[in-house]
Structure 1
Amino acid sequence: MTAQVNTVEPTARGRTLELTENARAHIAGQMQKHPDAAAFRIGVKMSGCSGYMYVVDVADAISAEDEVFDFQGTRVVVSRQALPVLSGTTVDFVKQGLNSMFRFHNPNAGASCGCGESFTTDTLVTE
């Protein structure tokens, strides 16, 4: 059974998520490599030494519990449980030498661990 998908603008319902042009272009490129994918997923999970870790992946399906954002035709999904932690976040994609990575500018992150892999927040995600 396929959930009904209501795609919203990135600032809809007071929940904001922003992608830089570099992030949007990278995600669009990833989606071209996976033509059967439904969207690109951005989320968080409990992990690391500080509490949460960002998770990015191609989403095979969109559930009724997902918020779907449209960035110039690039669909990004965030679970409603993770949205309070990610709301207001700007996602960038940067290249440094041979390395490339997503970089998250999250106003909800109180602190991050020394290695930069995880962060803390006052908001609890129940995924």
Structure 2
Amino acid sequence: MPSLRIMPKVMTLTDAAAARVSALIAQKPGVKALKIGVKKGGCAGMEYTMTWAEEIGKFDEIIEEKGAVVLIDPAAMMYLLGTEMDYKTDKLSSQFVFNNPNQKSACGCGESVNLEPATPPGFAPAEA
């Protein structure tokens, strides 16, 4: 029997993030999850993306936590490995916040970030 390989969790959600995701999905008929990804853009190089998913893709990573369902786009997995998703509210705004150990910097406006792919234990870093 082959040994099981334990995969690290791509992302975790705080109680606040899970509650907000669940509440938003409940308001959207036909939506199964919130899908998180990254794309090139902004002054720091990359931006987080969030879209509603009516279907779960074959290679999407499924995060079911505290009643919320979040999908991770396959192309974003190595950039999001180890990330904690939070939801914060202050006097002027409410927003999802990503506490990402792969983030090396962010732009001044907070709209874009500089991300490097994670290198899990046992993997060699990418050659430049």
Q: What TM-score do the two structures reach when normalised by structure 1?
A: 0.82
Deviation readout 1:60-98 (Å, 9 max, x if unpaired): 211112111111332110012101101111111011114
Asked if the contact 2:84/2:100 (under 8 Å) is kept, the reply is yes
Deviation at 1:99, TM superposition (A): 1.1
Asked if the contact 2:15/2:66 (under 8 Å) is kept, the reply is no
Q: Does structure 1 residue 93 correspond to structure 2 residue 95?
A: no
Asked if the contact 1:16/1:89 (under 8 Å) is kept, the reply is yes
Q: Choose which of 64, 88, 99 in structure 2 pairs with 1:70.
A: 64
Identity of aligned residues (%): 34
Stretch moving more, 84-93 or 112-121: 112-121
CA distance in structure 2 between the partners assigned to 1:122 and 1:67 by the alignment: 19
Partner secondary structure for residue 47 of structure 2: strand
**CA RMSD for the aligned pairs?**
1.6
Size of the aligned set, in residue pairs, is 113
Deviation readout 1:24-77 (Å, 9 max, x if unpaired): 000000010013112111111111011111112221211112111111332110
Structure 1 runs of 4+ with >6 Å offset: none
Q: What TM-score do the two structures reach when normalised by structure 2?
A: 0.81
> Which structure: greater strand fraction?
1
CA distance in structure 1 between the partners assigned to 2:9 and 2:79 by the alignment: 10
> Which stretches in structure 2 are left out of the alignment for 5+ residues?
1-5, 119-128
